[in-house]
């Protein structure tokens, strides 16, 4: 096999409590510090201890769009990791493990797989002050040595990860020490013959960020000052980010007693004029249903983040799925407008969250950001966000000066745009805000003609909003053999699968619908109608987006590639599915 430079798929695995996630973050940062790009993928069970955790890191010189199914180098902190991943290793791959603690027969593995025995626990025991969990860091040093990479980048990553911890200097240097001992062990005991080498490139300023972190950062940049939420996997790290930056960003995060309390707290803060948000997953969103209707009736703006996981009920709390699309589109009793945004990567998480706050304020309605576990917790290296063009728009929110000259204030004034002037408590304009149907002043009114006037007014906001709703994104050539349609985090895997198809002489393009509702119906219908073959790609059982498209456009999509086993959809799986469809 020819020597491969700067193309790697690496994985570390072990039980929960072995420091798998921290180790993966350190390895990712070490690669970035050498000028390379990464995309990570994590799997973990709904357990505090035990089970199988894994952290995969894909490394390339250019942007990495998604993880892949196969691994070149695996760090196994237990035998279970080897058993689970040995059939997903590339030819000539390697396994780093501790033979003193893992009994492994060579007959269990393919003959082309290289084994690197490193006495992880013994190195820890021989290092004064080190503790057992640091064997993960020993294995990181061994990985860097196998890859013939500069150890200094790992040391820098270790120091960065531990810099905010108590006794940080002591912990940092202990981790650097055991990592160097793992590195030295490989260099002393093994030939430098692994078929993948990692070499530094020109270092550029990059961030290593997850989708949840990007959402939180986008919210803070948009002027969000209040987050109320209840912890629910996989949305909880949005709360964590707010807490970690509460003082610096001048934001308030309140952990509520439950999701019902959380959304009502957020509604109250928004009613008082503060840009606010709540975040949850499907089960928590179900509890928020009644209050979403209250948002619709009172026309209070709010950004609601739904980080999907497979249901129904508790389902698979820590796994991947896209089963909430129709639920979010129809959440709440009665009819009221909402906007649904489904970002596809970390960059879109940031920019579309910023935009969500402007849309919520401008059109005085709930805006849903629908993400998923894969996007939420996967790290990706990206350039620093370009924020020069971002401007906060509070919509028709009356200033104190405007209030002084306002007479006969109608909070729910019937207008051609559907948007009414919004005042907040304390501005000396009197109005009522009720969950009952009301007239323009907010007074309860059960007259039929008033109901029609207010309902029509509220829905006119969607017509007005279309000028602010971006068109779906199209990737690939205008004319193609296959047109792929999808939404959310399948984006990166689809873009890579398109490259695989291109190598086979099959041209594909991709309609990625970020703004699912309100939908640019005519644009979508015309694009799909002119396609040779349309294939819907989703991570749910019932092809929910295809159903939404048929509902709004009348266009029926016959071909589908669906995955709903709770695991991430890989580009190779999309490629195989598309080829089956194409060749019949």
Domain 473-583 has CATH 3.30.930.10: no
pLDDT greater than 90 at residue 56:
yes
Q: Over pLDDT 90: what percentage of the chain?
A: 94
Of the pLDDT bands very low, low, confident and very high (cuts 50, 70, 90), residue 526 is very high
Residue 49 pLDDT class (50, 70, 90 cuts): confident
427-432: list long-range contacts, CB under 8 Å, 24+ apart: 427/398, 427/400, 427/403, 428/403, 429/398, 429/403
- Same CATH fold assignment for domains 209-383 and 473-583: yes
CATH code for the structural domain at 209-383: 3.40.50.970
| pLDDT tens sequence across 458-499 | 999 999 999 999 999 999 999 999 999 999 999 999 999 999
Q: Which tokens belong to 6?
A: 């700067």
Query: What digits encode the pLDDT tens for the residues 267-310?
Result: 999 999 999 999 999 999 999 999 999 999 999 999 999 999 99
Beta-carbon count within 10 A of 393 CB: 13
CA distances from 276 to 211, 229, 254, 266, 415 (A): 19, 11, 11, 6, 26
Domains of the chain, by residue range, sit at: 4-204, 209-383, 400-467, 473-583
Class of domain 4-204: alpha beta
Share of the chain above pLDDT 70, in %: 99
Q: Is residue 224 classed as helix, strand or coil in its secondary structure? A: coil
Contacts of 423 (CB under 8 A, 6+ apart): 398, 403, 406, 409, 411, 429, 431
How many Cβ atoms sit within 10 Å of the Cβ of residue 453?
16
pLDDT per position as a tens digit, 154-193:
999 999 987 665 567 888 999 999 999 999 999 999 999 9
Q: Is the pTM of this model over 0.95?
A: yes
Residue of 264, 297, 324, 290 lying closest to 458 (CA atoms) = 297
- pLDDT single digits (tens) 86-123: 999 999 999 999 999 999 987 899 999 999 999 999 99
Residue 2 has pLDDT above 90, yes or no: no
């Amino acid at each position: 096999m020819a020597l491969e430079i700067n193309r790697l798929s690496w994985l570390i695995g072990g039980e929960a409590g072995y420091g798998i996630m921290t180790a993966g973050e350190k390895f990712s940062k070490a690669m970035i510090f050498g000028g390379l790009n990464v995309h990570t993928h994590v799997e973990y069970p709904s357990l505090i201890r035990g089970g199988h955790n894994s952290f995969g890191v894909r490394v390339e010189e250019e942007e990495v769009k998604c993880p892949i199914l196969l691994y070149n180098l695996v760090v196994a902190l237990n035998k279970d990791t080897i058993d689970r991943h040995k059939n997903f290793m590339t030819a000539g791959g390697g396994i780093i493990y501790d033979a003193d603690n893992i009994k492994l027969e060579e007959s269990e593995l393919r003959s082309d797989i290289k084994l690197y025995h490193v006495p992880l626990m013994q190195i820890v025991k021989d290092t004064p002050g080190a503790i057992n969990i640091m064997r993960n860091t020993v294995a990181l040093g061994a990985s860097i040595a196998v890859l013939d990479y500069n150890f200094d980048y790992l040391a820098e990553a270790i120091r960065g990860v531990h810099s905010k911890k108590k006794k940080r200097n002591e912990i940092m240097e202990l981790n650097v020490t055991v990592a160097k001992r793992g590195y030295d062990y490989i260099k002393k005991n093994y030939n430098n013959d692994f078929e993948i080498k990692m070499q530094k490139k020109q270092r550029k300023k990059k961030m290593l960020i997850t989708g949840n972190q990007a959402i939180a950062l986008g919210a803070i940049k948009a002027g969000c000052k209040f987050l109320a939420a209840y912890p629910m996997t996989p949305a909880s790290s949005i709360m964590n980010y707010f807490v970690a930056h509460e003082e610096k960003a001048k934001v308030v995060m309140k952990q509520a007693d439950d999701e019902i309390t959380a959304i009502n707290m957020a509604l109250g803060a928004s009613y008082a004029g503060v840009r606010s948000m709540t975040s949850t997953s499907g089960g928590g969103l179900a509890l928020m249903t009644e209050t979403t209707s209250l948002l619709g009736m009172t026309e209070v703006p709010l950004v609601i983040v739904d980080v999907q996981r497979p249901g129904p009920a508790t389902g698979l709390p820590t796994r991947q799925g896209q089963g909430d699309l129709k639920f979010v589109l129809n959440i709440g009793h009665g009819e009221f407008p909402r906007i649904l945004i489904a970002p596809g990567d970390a960059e879109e998480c940031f920019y579309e969250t910023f935009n969500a706050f402007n849309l919520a304020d401008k059109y005085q309605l709930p805006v849903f950001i629908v993400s998923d576990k894969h996007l939420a917790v996967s790290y990706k290296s990206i350039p620093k966000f370009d924020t020069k063009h971002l401007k906060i728009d509070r919509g028709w929110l009356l200033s104190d000066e405007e209030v002084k000259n306002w007479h006969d204030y109608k909070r729910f004034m019937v207008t051609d745009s559907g948007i009414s002037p919004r005042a907040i408590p304390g501005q000396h304009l009197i109005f009522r805000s009720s969950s009952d149907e009301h007239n323009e002043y907010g007074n309860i009114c059960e007259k039929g003609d008033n109901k029609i006037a207010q309902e029509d007014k509220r829905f006119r906001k969607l017509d007005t909003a279309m000028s602010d709703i971006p068109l779906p994104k199209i990737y690939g050539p205008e004319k193609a053999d296959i047109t792929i349609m999808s939404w959310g985090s399948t984006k990166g895997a689809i873009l890579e699968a398109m490259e695989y198809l291109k190598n086979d002489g099959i041209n594909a393009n991709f309609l990625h619908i970020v703004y699912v509702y309100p939908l640019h119906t005519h644009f979508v219908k015309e694009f799909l109608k002119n396609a040779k073959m349309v294939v819907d790609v989703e991570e749910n059982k019932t092809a929910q987006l295809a159903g939404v498209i048929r509902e709004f456009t009348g266009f029926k999509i016959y071909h589908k590639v669906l995955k709903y086993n709770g695991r991430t959809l890989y580009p190779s799986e999309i490629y195989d599915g598309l080829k089956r469809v194409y060749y019949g």
